[in-house]
Structure 1
Amino acid sequence: MTTRAEAPARSTHATAAAAVTVVLWASSFVAIRHAGTEFSAGALSLARLGLGSILLGALLFTRPRPEAAVRRWPAKRDWAPLLACGVLWFGVYNLALNDAERRLDAGTAAMLVHIAPLLIAVLAGFGLGEGFPRNLVIGGLVAFAGIVVIGTSSSDGRAELWGVVLCVIAAVSYAVGVVTQKPLLSRLPAAEVTWLACTIGAVVCLPFAPALLDELRTADATTIWWVVYLAAFPTALGFTTWAFALRRTSAGRMGITVYAVPVVAIILGWLFLGETPAALAFVGGALCLAGVAISRRAA
């Protein structure tokens, strides 16, 4: 049970972990832009999740643990939500999003995928009993308005139907994956949940192994290093810090927090890819950050 004195530290740690996640997930857009030039959607997903699983497993099983800490294998009741999280969020989400970004411009994809945080808030409100705090609802709507502004400013107006469908599939998979993950974190360590879900996602992507082997033979070394970065940082580290933060706050609040990802991605794209965003995108970014700030305020 958390004491009143421990609560501020717990909140600070969760906020710091969420900030790390936002930066790493935003950086993945830059990495995917590079890696996607030589790797297909399925091969990239398998490489990212497979290597991420290996790195997470190595960290999990080789790091020293205090004598009081016991590594708990999931109970029978844990496997259904674990499978849902791994298959949907790690497997289906990556496959759908990687393929969608080959068919849609970034602005349209961002608008569609970022219906996920609102879905998370709704699913957590009903399914997890988190309810609908006023600040969460207001912040979510403000942040979503920011996403619409960003998407409108960067969209070319052409949306392929299958690309739209894939983005919606990615958003729904993302939302359901988060909501199924949340109860697990009250019973299992965050690192173990992340490793198991990532491993399940990698297994889902195994049919793309032949394509990955073929593409590795012809890929440039720089591109391969971008894939390694995706696996080590946005995947292994980013999902671990996400789980750490999610364990210490509500699913709805964490979902709204990721509205900051497109804002950071715009900045990183400007710095590393020379992509100058439209002026309207900065207005959308300000709305996203304002919405996140509102949602994380105590009621």
Structure 2
Amino acid sequence: MPLKIGIEYIYALLSVIAWSTVFIVVKIVIDESNPILLSMFRFFIASIILLIYVYRRKMLSQLKNIYLDEYKNIVFQGLTGIAGMSSILFYGIKYTSASISSIIMNSNPLIIAVLSYLFLKEKLKSINIAGIIIGYIGIIPILSRGENIFKLFTSKHLFGDILCVIAAILWSLYIINGKKLLERYNPIIVTLAAMTIGTVILIPPLVIFYWKDIYNISMKTFWAMIYLGIFPTGVGFTLWFNALEKLPASKLSIIGYLVPILSLILSVILLGEKINVFILIGFILVVLGLYLSNV
């Protein structure tokens, strides 16, 4: 019999492929564009797409309710997981490689596991703890690029790596705080509410400090913003939420591990980035740690 793959798996895979390209596209344009500008237009475009989706699903009343009843949490979500995470991540990509930034950013489940234990009192099994330890050990050769660990603090990539770590922490806080919202609201409503607020938060610093950049957008940056807003963010999240309606979160999380793998492959093929054996070993340890920390 021919192998049949459900449409939900195709949705999830397309989302993962789209998300893996974010690091590549940003790396290509970041030297001539502003991270805040890139982030703001990315989420502005995506918000419109998700708003259309919510309207067609007749869920606008839920969106109104979450704005009114959870405004403090939504502002926190928009500040950490949208405005803060994206801007800082894009700044980080400017000073480090796309492949390393993807691995660091997508190691956030290791941070989430620790924060969930500390603040949500979620239990950790022995295998989860082992996974967290293995994952963090894997981060070391990635950050050091296989060089002497003591040279890490003088590495030209250190600033970018630190920014990516901060972005991963902000995203982890977004996920932790969002867990209680997801008990009462549809995931796409929580995401759209945070995305719109995050977009609004980005407007003042953009207008006050970087208004000249708005008038000097290159065509390459313009198309990058369009791409980031439509495919990885707007369409990517829409497809992911459709998959989430039919697949358990545990299966989706495993599919999500493909993001850093695909980013790594694309960064080598499209950007010519060099991946040595130490980075590869660290990457394998991180992926193994991610899996074990969530079983």
Using the size of structure 2 for normalisation, the TM-score is 0.76
Residue 110 of structure 2 corresponds to which residue in structure 1? 118
Residues 149 and 23 (structure 1 numbering): CA distance in 2 closer, same or farther, change over 3 Å? farther
Contact 1:46/1:209, CA 8 A, preserved across alignment: no
Indicate how the Cα distance of structure 1 residues 166 and 82 shifts in structure 2: closer, same or farther if over 3 A, else same: same
Q: 1:112 to 1:277 in 2, by over 3 A?
A: closer
CA contact (8 A) 2:24 2:267 kept: yes
Tell me which amino acid in the other structure corresponds to 1:204: I
Q: Deviations over 1:54-104 (max 9, x none)?
A: 22112221x255xxx784222755332222111111011112222233344
For 1:71 and 1:151, the matched residues in 2 are separated by 46
- State the partner residue of 1:280: 278
**For residues 158 and 273 of structure 2, what CA distance do their matches in structure 1 show?**
26
Aligned positions, number: 279
Which position in structure 1 is the counterpart of 2:190? 193
1 CA distance for matches of 2:40 and 2:224?
A: 14
Unaligned runs of 5+ in 2: 1-5
Greater alpha carbon shift after TM alignment, 264-273 vs 102-111: 102-111
Residue 134 of structure 2: aligned partner: 142
Normalized per residue, which structure has more helix?
2
Alpha-carbon displacement from aligned partner over 1:27-70 (angstroms, at most 9, x marks no partner): 10011112313211111111111111122112221x255xxx78
CA distance in 2, matches of 1:148, 1:114: 15
Counterpart for residue 3 of structure 2: none
Cα distance, 1:14–1:159 mapped onto 2, change above 3 Å: farther
1:9 alignment counterpart: none
Partner SS, residue 119 of structure 1: helix
Q: Distance in 2 between matches of 1:154 and 1:40?
A: 31
What's 2:81 paired with?
A: 89
Q: Which residue of 1 aligns with 2:29?
A: 35
Distance in structure 1 (CA, Å) of the matches to 2:192 and 2:67: 16
Aligned equivalents of 1:117, 1:21: Cα separation in 2? 18
d(CA) in 2 for partners of 1:291, 1:131: 17
CA contact (8 A) 1:49 1:235 kept: yes
Q: Root-mean-square deviation (CA), in Å?
A: 3.7
TM-score with structure 1 length normalisation? 0.75
Distance 2:179 2:41 in 1: 26
User: Per-residue CA shift, 1:98-130, capped at 9, x if unaligned?
Assistant: 223334455775676566332211222233342
Structure 1 residues 293 and 88, CA gap change in structure 2 (3 angstroms): closer
Instruction: Choose which of 24, 42, 47 in structure 2 pairs with 1:48.
Output: 42
CA separation of 1:21 and 1:257: change in aligned 2, threshold 3 A? same
TM-superposed deviation, 1:19? 5.3
Aligned-residue identity in percent = 25
Quote the Cα distance in structure 2 between the aligned partners of 1:145 and 1:17: 33
**SS across alignment from 1:130:** coil
| Residues 167 and 268 of structure 1: CA distance in aligned 2, closer, same or farther (over 3 Å) | closer
Separation of aligned partners in 2, 1:160 and 1:153: 10
Sort the Cα spacing of 1:138 and 1:239 in 2 relative to 1 into closer, same or farther, 3 A: farther
Instruction: Tell me the equivalent position of 1:3.
Output: none
Matched, 1:177 2:174: yes
Runs of 5+ unmatched residues, structure 1: 1-11
Change (3 A) 1:45 1:243: farther
Which secondary structure does the structure 1 equivalent of 2:145 belong to?
Answer: helix
The reply to whether residue 229 of structure 1 matches residue 227 of structure 2 is yes
Residues 116 and 296 from structure 1, CA distance in 2 versus in 1: closer, same or farther, beyond 3 angstroms?
Answer: closer
2:292 to 288, 291, 294: 294
Contact 1:259 1:289 survives alignment (8 Å): yes
Cα distance, 1:265 vs structure 2: 1.1
Distance 1:183 1:245 in 2: 18
| 1:272, distance to aligned residue in structure 2 (A) | 2.3
Deviation at 1:231, TM superposition (A): 1.2
CA contact (8 A) 1:24 1:238 kept: yes
Give the Cα–Cα distance (whole angstroms) in 2 for the partners of residues 18 and 179 of structure 1.
22
Deviation sequence 1:166-189 (CA, Å, 0-9, x none) = 444323311111111122122111
Deviates more, 1:48-57 or 1:160-169: 160-169
Q: How far off is 1:267 after superposition?
A: 0.6
Say if 1:273 and 1:161 are closer, same or farther in 2 by CA, change over 3 A.
Answer: closer
